[in-house]
Structure 1
Amino acid sequence: MMRQKISMSRRVVRQSKFRHVFGQAMKADQCYEDIRVSKVTWDSSFCAVNPKFVAIIVESGGGGAFLVLQLARTGRVDKNHPLVCGHTAPVLDIDWCPHNDNVVASGSEDCTVMVWQIPDHVALRSITDPIVVLEGHSKRVGIISWHPTARNILLSAGSDNMIIIWNVGTGEPLITLDDLHSDLIYNVCWNRNGSLICTTCKDKKVRVIDPREQRIIAKTFDEPIALQEMDTSNGVLLPFYDPDSNIVYLCGKGDSSIRYFEITDEAPYVHYISTFSSKEPQRGMGFMTKRGLDVSRCEIARFFKLHERKCEPITMTVPRKSDLFQDDLYPDTQGPDAALDAEEWMSGKNADPILISLRDGYIPPKNRELKFAKKNMLDNKPPLGPRRSYSTCESNFSRVTMEELMDEIKSLKVIVQSQERRITELENKLSKFTNGTA
């Protein structure tokens, strides 16, 4: 008991601008109501957000789907609101592209990864045609993660114990890591510049992997620099790390708490800050990128907590009396521009994120287009006709699309001509009938 009191007193006097971070749930009119959150048993967050949209994996009959709402469209969600649905089995994970706020990827039990273009306006009907379908896993795909600094690089991990890194712009797998994990992969994350990945596995090992060299560079962590005991009886912990503030937030899936800690370079390294608790347990959690925060309110983090039938934003703020921009709370943060092309990253180049200032706030651009060195499929509308997996070259893609368009035009002409003849016949019959009864 004495040791605990001493430890707590040290935390109180420790100098840090984040010693007082307060969590607060948004009011009811700022929540998203009547959402059928997915009941699939899986350990992903089920929610992904960016400065434009909130995406939530939902219940869907006959396949898999997720709901996309404009961030400002709070309140009750119409039961007939369009969905993003193209998977033939439940969606397990979703992730927004960090370099294009209108592009989102999804992984599913149907063993595929799909990439979708979301319009700025509210869609009138469900989105069923992905930009590209990535096929390579033999079992369900439960983890999706975009590269933090390289354009069009997407990572997927499946229950086949395999990690595939894709070039979404061509639809081709760049790297396949199929012999580094002996059991189910629980989680995968990139480091800040995307040169390494870190994985956790059912075999209770943490691996640091160089994906381009396809080798493990660290696996045994015998002595942790800090140890924090957590109550995880209700489910898994969803970790979210903010590199700008060095705060890690731990959200227990199945409990009602968000615990947060500050990480420092000196012992004891991990400093407990506080716990935000509410009455209802969370089914999942979304974490807003720093670009989407309200700097005028000293907001340093925002979560989107999933209940059984709603999504509730929770804001984390540092109380300040001044209305001026707080430079110490908001260092330049990762912006939406990619630092590398896919080809540059594959050639061995690394680059830190391109940073932007939040002094004047951030306004997401409309229909932001990806920059590319070669023609990129993400900048084309989905073709007409049945969906296909894009692994062909650009010229063949254009040729097939043109042939489909010509065939459809010919088909429409036949239909129009047939209808015109039918209309003429009906008009003649109507004229005879009218003259006969006059």
Structure 2
Amino acid sequence: MSRFVRASKYRHVFGQQGKKEYGYDNVKVTNSAWDTNIISASTRYISLNWNASGGGASRTSSPSARSHTGPVLDTDWSPFNDTVVASAGEDGKTLIWKVDDAAFAGWGQDGWEPQDFDPVARIDVSPRRVGHVLFHPTANNVLATSTGDHVVKLWDLAQPENARGVLGGHGDAIQSLAWNPTGTILATTCRDRKIRLFDPRAGPDPVRVGEGHGGIKASIALADRIATTGFSKMSDRQAAIWETGSLSNVKTITIDQTSGVLMPFWTDNNILFLAGKGDGNIRYYEYENDNLFPLAEYKSSEPQRGMCFLPRRGLSVSDCEIARAYKVAASSIEAIAFIVPRKSDSFQSDIYPPAPSAEPALSAAEFFSGKTAPPKLVSLEDGSITTGSAPLSIPTTPAPAASSAPTKTTSAPPPAAAPAPVVSIREEPPAPTSEPEPRIPTRSQTVPGTDDGTVAALKEENARLTAELRDAREKIRNLELQVETVRANARKAAALLDS
């Protein structure tokens, strides 16, 4: 076994459940068997697929959206407007909702009664169900929907009468879809066990088709590489990394043999979170050099039915929070913060790359006319806006061939600096930090007024300090290895006790 531990600024990240007042109790989660994440979040609000069956529409403690005539299957918030959310329903419709902030005036106070919302737009997508809705990451008011007749339709919400594009070629039900960060590629997984890549403006056919996991269930998250989860032919749960251009498999790891679907969440600091439906734990891995390195595992005795992650621009950077999940349990929503322990209270630039901003890079008209643009990014330190990397493109050669279940929007109490619910716990010991190498002055850097003997003495002293520092670093590496061994033994002991 190697005596060295892989260097990573995220190696000590840990998950911590938020306080009870930052979660939501007594929620009625949908009973629909359709496989989506059930919950979605903007930096200000949370939407949940609500169960209104059994006695009609029930009164909730928050304003509800009630215009679907069938169970709600999926919701997604606009990345550029924290008060706009789209919902997909079993009734074949997609509805667009605008959350009025004034509706939450006095929320939580005695005598306050919620007023339900009406949709601002209705889109007749399909005579069959609408399984997924997904906003475009860089173009404003562009929405993708998957339908029960095995196609993906693209919409300009300013002109929702007709679809602006229809993407086909699927042999069975579409299970998931994802945009790449620049919005130039749309990827889908399907029950026919294939992964398809589309250039949405190049035509209705996929430009790449590749074999996915052996099992029929799969989910997808997309960045420079494609990350999928699914099942092998032997029913092992797997996570895999695929090359975007050719859809060749880069890396596949086996997780376990549990039957619950793994929900993947890829963050733009190269961390892949895997949350299994029916599991109580969340695994997370760091992606580096086409490998997935396990970081740690958040464990809970409460199984999750669904999950979403807060947009990174809504995190509490003063608490070194690099991600925040909202977990749907049987009748509650829990906030879970993932924190990198640091001693300093100053902004930690190494763990906070610029995040996708709330400012679109394109209008819907520009996108559908063929224009591309890199995403706009926001600094989490000072709020300044920068431009991301150039859009990724791939060759466009076609590849071979419940009763009235509304979406419930729930507001969180807004704090001064970070969106609520705020989770701020820092109880893990900080990662050991290394000191910079001492500089040895050269003759040209000699302090005025010193002679050669003094310079030689300084060099000798610096050489001694450098050797001591090298020894200290070796001791730190040995201690880190011992800590990892202790943690591994603790996990094994816990597993034995659980069995």
Could you tell me the TM-score, scaled by structure 2's length? Answer: 0.65
Measured against aligned partners, the alpha-carbon deviations of 1:146-199 in whole angstroms (never above 9, x if no partner) come to 000001100000121011100011113343435310100000000111011011
Distance 1:31 1:308 in 2: 13
Within a 5 Å distance, the mapping from 1:71-220 to structure 2 comes to 79-123=60-104, 124-177=113-166, 179-214=168-203, 215-220=205-210
For 2:216, the equivalent position in structure 1 comes to none
For 1:74, the equivalent position in structure 2 comes to none
Secondary structure at the counterpart of residue 321 of structure 1: coil
TM-superposed deviation, 1:127: 3.0
For 2:284, the equivalent position in structure 1 comes to 260
Measured against aligned partners, the alpha-carbon deviations of 1:102-133 in whole angstroms (never above 9, x if no partner) come to 10000000000000000113355443421111
Given candidates 314, 330, 336, the residue that maps to 2:352 is 330
Would you say the 8 A contact 1:157–1:185 is kept in 2? yes
Within a 5 Å distance, the mapping from 1:190-339 to structure 2 comes to 190-214=179-203, 215-221=205-211, 224-231=249-256, 233-243=258-268, 245-264=269-288, 266-267=289-290, 269-339=291-361
Secondary structure at the counterpart of residue 358 of structure 1: coil
Distance 1:232 1:64 in 2: 39
Within a 5 Å distance, the mapping from 1:353-372 to structure 2 comes to 353-360=375-382
User: Structure 1 residues 341, 232: CA separation in 2 closer, same or farther (over 3 Å shift)?
Assistant: farther
Would you say the 8 A contact 2:37–2:263 is kept in 1? yes
Would you say the 8 A contact 1:115–1:133 is kept in 2? yes
Distance 1:293 1:154 in 2: 25
Which letter maps to 2:276?
G
Secondary structure at the counterpart of residue 365 of structure 2: helix
Given candidates 12, 26, 42, the residue that maps to 1:20 is 12
Question: Which runs of 5 or more residues in structure 1 are unaligned?
Answer: 1-5, 67-77, 363-438
Distance 1:64 1:84 in 2: 14
| Greater relative CO, 1 or 2 (CA 8 Å, sep 6+) | 2
TM-superposed deviation, 1:361: 7.1
For 1:404, the equivalent position in structure 2 comes to none
Distance 1:63 1:153 in 2: 36
Distance 1:173 1:351 in 2: 25
Would you say the 8 A contact 2:167–2:198 is kept in 1? no
Would you say the 8 A contact 1:84–1:126 is kept in 2? no
Secondary structure at the counterpart of residue 66 of structure 2: strand
Would you say the 8 A contact 1:144–1:156 is kept in 2? yes
Would you say the 8 A contact 1:206–1:219 is kept in 2? yes
TM-superposed deviation, 1:23: 0.5
Measured against aligned partners, the alpha-carbon deviations of 1:22-44 in whole angstroms (never above 9, x if no partner) come to 00111222211111111211211
Question: Which runs of 5 or more residues in structure 2 are unaligned?
Answer: 105-112, 212-246, 385-499
Distance 2:115 2:71 in 1: 16
Which letter maps to 1:271?
F
* Percent of residue pairs identical: 39
User: Structure 1 residues 317, 173: CA separation in 2 closer, same or farther (over 3 Å shift)?
Assistant: farther
Distance 1:104 1:65 in 2: 20
For 1:385, the equivalent position in structure 2 comes to none
Measured against aligned partners, the alpha-carbon deviations of 1:78-112 in whole angstroms (never above 9, x if no partner) come to 84533111100010000000011110000000000
User: Structure 1 residues 241, 178: CA separation in 2 closer, same or farther (over 3 Å shift)?
Assistant: closer
Distance 2:61 2:53 in 1: 13
Secondary structure at the counterpart of residue 239 of structure 1: strand
Which letter maps to 1:99?
F
Distance 1:55 1:98 in 2: 14
Distance 1:251 1:348 in 2: 36
